[in-house]
Structure formats: structure tokens, C-alpha cells
Amino acid sequence: MFSKILIANRGEIACRVIKTARKMGIKTVAVYSDADKDALHVAMADEAVHIGPAASAQSYLVIDKIVDACKQTGAQAVHPGYGFLSEKREFQEALGKAGIAFIGPDAHAIFAMGDKIESKKLAREAGVNTVPGYLGVIKDADEAVKIAREIGYPVMLKASAGGGGKGMRLAWNDAEAHEGFTSATNEAKTSFGDDRVFVEKFIEQPRHIEIQVLADGQGTTLYLGERECSIQRRHQKVIEEAPSPFLTPETRKAMGEQACALARIVNYKSAGTVEFIVGGATGEFYFLEMNTRLQVEHPVTEMITGLDLVEQMIRVAAGEKLAITQDDVKLNGWSMEARVYAEDPFRNFLPSTGRLTRYQPPAESQHVRVDTGVYEGGEISMFYDPMIAKLITYGPTRDAAIAHMRQALDEYHIRGLSHNIPFLASLFSKERFVKGQLTTNFIAEEYANGFHANDLPADDPTVLIAVAASANRRIAERDIRISGQFPGHEMRAGDEWVVVMSGQYHDITVRPAENGYAVTIGSETVDVKTDWQIGEPLFRAVVDGRAVAVQIERAGSGLRLAHAGSRADVLVLTPHAARMNKLMPFKAPPDMSKYLLSPMPGLLVKLLVEDGQEVKAGEALAVVEAMKMENILKAERDAKIAKTHAAAGDSLAVDQKIIEFAS
């Protein structure tokens, strides 16, 4: 067994590998860029080596720097995580030449299966069903349009070396195919250094289901069940679960055996994933690709099988045979994974960067697991993926796993930047999701007009009113004790207050009760049992027998509560103060409709208009790049450009003016 390994990655996956290595008694080496010098994975590792500037092309993607770091530290093996160099055969070959083990498959398997075009050709030769498409290299956008017409719309344009939703565009017509090819090519070149793009038929109403395989290269190849990955946005997985609520045991077995057969063709060893697209109506499945690495969503498989996939990868790389057979693989219970991202779902999911001023994940238990690479006070950089964490839950049934997830989302306390927890809370509350009626079109169909506040799950306002009243009462009790006005004197029972929430005024009384308070709202009395202490960001309580977790913080002269994905600013006032509050004037925000504002912090790659130009609704105005993704900003209506406020190459802040339209 290795005594020291290097993790050629960053963030949560680097931390994840370090945890297993530590459990196995293996020392670890982290690598880091300028942007990651204070990162959690650097602090967790036994050693750390600086490898260059913030841009991944000058640090995490430079093979020679990783090999040199191994030589400096004496690392005997490298775990690549996912992304970056994990599916670069040149990396595996360079490590091999240096006498360093690669914790993953060999170069032949990486090339054969890691390249989307070559893997489909090999799958066809092996008799595996594949999605109809054109696997040749496309020279330009015009040829992409021609091929798309021949295949028949809709089509998917995909980067051959792609992954993680990068370099992918869905096209329903010639214009979208032309534009999509250009954007996919640019993203592919930026993210992977490989601008090849291919086209395939887009299967409507599909499910995305993948099979986890594990092989030792010594004759044993296993499948560890499936993962349902159909909940996607912009081709990026958002929620994954294991097992799938759709597959029958017969289909699971057929897909698993086919995945193993594909792995055996290239004498695969290590953990890998064979991805399939499954027709929701017919149940027929088609091979999409094989990822020759650990998947982001691997924890849900670990939760239902009891296997540590990182440990298995390390043992196989060290030359050990797998200690289990296919009959030993049992699927127990249900697991969910939600990807918590630094992005603003209310602004079309635009990336959000900055410092985590408050960060408190839910407590881990047998039902809750948090894989993260951040900490309170750390930063989410514009240079890398905006993932904050992976939140994983487990239960004996699917409903139980969902219930644990909804509670854990309520308990996840993040401040300082925008995050997608409100969107996740909404997803897990959708009736279609709860019933398991999933397709890759789920988000597009359920949120056809984007994500808005009215998409949040319905919440009982009584709970928030009762929590606000109870918290205010406890704060008032504290203030009286501090002031010494009434030393040792309990507050007068039946104190009257007015709770102002969402513009509504609610008359209440709050009385001390056993282990908490009795809050009367109108004619209804609510029992609130809580041991919450002032300053704690999470108000845990049992409200009329229902366990709730409400995030709470000061907001001006009132309180800000967050629950079930939504936030509410609440004032708890005396009756006189409430009457005065109704008389306060409302200050309208300034009108910014005549400006094109940057919806995110990023780089202005292209400015496509100039002063005095007439533009039509839908016309592209600018291209902003953030988190390695190109975002095309388009005109919402016909207009004339009065003035440009930024130029190509500028670094933009969120809401920075780019273009001013004529009035």
C-alpha cells in the first residue's frame, strides 16, 4: 500500500480524498494555485505544494507541475479527483514515466472511453446501442447546421472532451445550431484545450441514468447499481439519487451487465461510470459515454452500498484484487445528493462570488453527509466551479431520504453570497419529484418562465410568526435583565405585540410556557418549545408538535427569517410603533431599465454593439464569461444604443453598467 499520495485537484473532492487517505493511514499532499493558498484542502493535507497562478490552465492543468510536486514530496501515487487532468491520458502516461502510480484506469482506457467520439465508435463496434448522431469532427458552424438538419432537430452539440455541462448546447433550429456550435467550441477550447464538437439526436422526455462500475484489472468487474441523474439545468446535474425510482430489477441487471461488458473491452480498472439515456415511455436505454474517473455524485452509491469508492480506487491502484463479488453488492435504502452552488437562482442562476461571511452546514449524522471544500471566512473564486458543497442524505425509503434533505436544507446557513438553496428546496417539494416522475426536461418544464419567489414551497406563515414572536420575547427578556430595570422580575404575561411580515400586520400575545412560549395569533394559540439562545443562527423548535429549523438573524430593527427556501423580514413592534410604522413613506428604488447591467461578476469577452446602433429584440449585445461559461446577453426589446460603459477585456462587477439605451 502507498504511504503517501498527492491529490491533483482542489475543493471538496480534494478534501473527500484526504479523508479516506487519512482513514487508511496514508499521508497526503495537496497542490494549490495562488487563488487557493488559504483553501480547506491545503489546510487538511499533510503537505502542500504551490503550482502556479489562479488560472487552471497555468496551475491545475499543467502536467509537469504536478509531476514535479510528486518528486518534491515523494508521493508514490496521484488521485486526480474529477475534472482537470482526471481524464487526460497524457497525465497518466507522464506519471507512469516518472514511476508514479495513477489512481485510475490506464492511458488506453482513458483514451478509448474518455473521448466521447471514440467511445461511441467503440460502443457501436461492440454492439452497444448508441444515440443516432454524427461522430466526425465538424469544421465550422455552417457544417454543424447542415449535419443537424440531416439528423433532424432537436440535436445536442457536445464537446468531445467535455464534461460537467461545459461545451454543450441544445439546438431546435438552424440559428441555435449555428450559435450553439460557436459557443460550445469556445467553451471546449477554454475548459479542456480541445475544441472538437460533435452532434447527436436529442432524445425527448429522457431519463439520465448511470451505472457505477468497479474493476481491478485482474478479472473482476462489478456494477454497483445505478444513479438517477435526470434533474439537470443547462446539462449540469443538480440532484442525484440512488437507486433510480424508475428502473426495474431486470433493467438494472441488463444495464449493469452491459456497462461491465463495455469496461472489459478496454480492460478497465478502478472506479468508472457508464452513462445511459433511458426512454421514459419505452424503458429502452442508449449508451452516452463512459467517465473514466470518480463522479461528483459517487456519495449516493456509497451510502446505499456501504462501500468507500475512493478506498477501492486506491487499493486497486496499489495492485490489490477486489475483495467482493457481484453477489456481495447489495443496495440498501435510498440516498439523495443536492449540489449547493454559489449562484443566484432568482437571477437566472448567475454565478455569485465572494467571501462566506457565515457558513454553518447541517450537522452530519447517519442520515446527513456534507462533502465540502469551503469554510466560514473563505472565498468562492471566479476562477473555478462555483460549488459550495454536496449535501447527501440517506433514509430507509425514498420519502425518508427526501424528508431528511428538506430538513438539512433548512439547516444550511450560508451568508455573504447568493446560493441555490431556495431552488433546491423548491425542487424537493415538487409533486412530480416526490412521485419520481423525472426526465431531463424536469426543470425546464416545472420552471418554464425561470425561477421566482412564487416557486418556493408553500409555508405556513403561522410558523414564522410564532418563531419571530418567541425570538423577540427572548431578546426582550435578555434586554430587561441587562438593563436591571426589573431585577428578578418576570415579564408581564400577555404582552401584546404586532408582527409585521410581508406587509401584513398580525396582533399577537406571547406568554411563557413549559420549555418555551405560548403565542396567540388572533384566536389561535401556538405552542413553541425551544432552547434557542440569542446569537444562534438556527432557531430549532417544535411548533405545535412539528419540528422546524428556521434561520434567524438581525435585519435592521427587525429579524430576517429563512425557512423552506424563502426569506422573510419581520418586525415585532408594540401596538403604538405598529401604528406609526403604517405611516412611514415608501422609497421606490431607482429605475435602471435603460441600462444593460452585468448580471454577474465576470469578464466582458465581447461587446457586440456601438454607440448609436439600432438593435432588435433578441439581438446579442455582449458576451460575459464567468466560471468558465460564456453567457450571451441579448436585447429584451427594440432599442437604440445611447452609450457603452464598458469595453471587451474589462472585469465586471455584478450590476455594473455595460450599455445605456436611449430613452
Summarised one tens digit per residue, pLDDT across range 380-428 is 988 888 899 999 999 999 999 999 999 999 999 999 999 999 999 999 9
Q: 211-227 as b/e, with b when 16 or more CB fall inside 10 Å?
A: bbbbbbbeebbbbbbbb
| Rounded Cα–Cα distance for residues 563 and 164 (Å) | 30
Q: What digits encode the pLDDT tens for the residues 222-273?
A: 999 999 999 999 888 999 999 999 999 999 999 999 999 999 999 999 999 9
pLDDT tier at 584 (50, 70, 90 boundaries)? confident
Q: Which of 289, 411, 625, 630 is catalytic?
A: 289
How confident is the model at residue 459, as a pLDDT? 77
pLDDT at 486: 53
Length of the chain: 663
What is the rounded average pLDDT of the residues 6-33? 98
Question: What pLDDT does residue 485 have?
Answer: 57
Find out whether 243 and 350 touch, Cβ atoms under 8 Å.
Answer: no
In this predicted structure, what is the pLDDT of residue 26? 98
CA distance 353 to 343: 8
Place of cell 456534507: 370
pLDDT at 80: 98
Query: What local confidence, expressed as pLDDT, does residue 128 receive?
Result: 81
Above 50 in pLDDT, residue 615?
yes
Q: Can you give the pLDDT at residue 491? A: 47
CA-wise closest residue to 446 among 464, 426, 460? 426
Q: Is the dihedral of CA 486, 487, 493, 496 positive or negative?
A: positive
Average pLDDT of the segment spanning 313-334: 97
What string of DSSP letters covers 174-196?
Answer: HHHHHHHHHHHHHHHHHHHS---
The yes-or-no verdict on residue 9 having pLDDT over 90 is: yes
pLDDT score for 493: 41
For the CA atoms of 365, 371, 377, 380, what is the dihedral angle to 10 degrees? Answer: -150
Over pLDDT 70: what percentage of the chain? 97
Contact 301, 229 (CB under 8 A): no
pLDDT of 433 above 70: yes
Cell of 168: 454543450
CA distance 168 to 236: 10
Would you state the pLDDT for residue 240? 98
Q: pLDDT, tens digit, for every residue of 461-504?
A: 899 999 999 999 998 888 777 766 555 544 444 588 899 998 89
C-alpha cell at 31: 497542490
Predicted local distance difference test score (pLDDT) of residue 385 = 87
Report the distance separating Cα 42 and Cα 7, nearest Å.
Answer: 10
Buried/exposed 585-594: b ≥16 CB within 10 Å, e otherwise:
eeeeeeeeee
Q: Is 289 a catalytic residue?
A: yes
Cβ 544 vs Cβ 526: under 8 Å:
yes
pLDDT digits (tens, 9 = 90+) for 519-575: 999 889 999 999 999 999 999 999 999 999 999 999 888 999 999 988 899 999 988
Residue 602 CA neighbour count, 13 Å, CB half? 27
Q: In angstroms, rounded to a whole number, what is the distance separating the alpha carbons of residues 265 and 407?
A: 44
357: three-class secondary structure by DSSP: coil
Q: Is the pLDDT of residue 133 over 80?
A: yes
Distance between CA atoms of residues 548 and 543, nearest Å? 7
User: How far apart are alpha carbons 83 and 61 in whole angstroms?
Assistant: 10
At 470 the pLDDT is 94
CA 408 to chain centre: 15
Q: Between these two residues, 336 and 476, which has the higher pLDDT value?
A: 336
Q: What percent of the chain has pLDDT over 90?
A: 73
For the segment 162-179, the average pLDDT, to the nearest whole number, is 87
Query: Which set of grid coordinates corresponds to residue 391?
Result: 449535501
Q: Taking the CA atoms of 130, 131, 134 and 135 in sequence, report the sign of the dihedral they define.
A: negative
Instruction: Give, as one character, the DSSP assignment of residue 346.
Output: G
Least confident span in 26-40, 417-431, 626-640 = 626-640
Which of the pair, 162 or 80, is modelled with greater confidence?
Answer: 80
Q: Is the confidence at residue 166, as pLDDT, over 90?
A: no
Is 0.85 surpassed by the pTM of this model? no
Q: Is the pLDDT of residue 323 over 90?
A: yes
* Predicted pLDDT at 30: 98
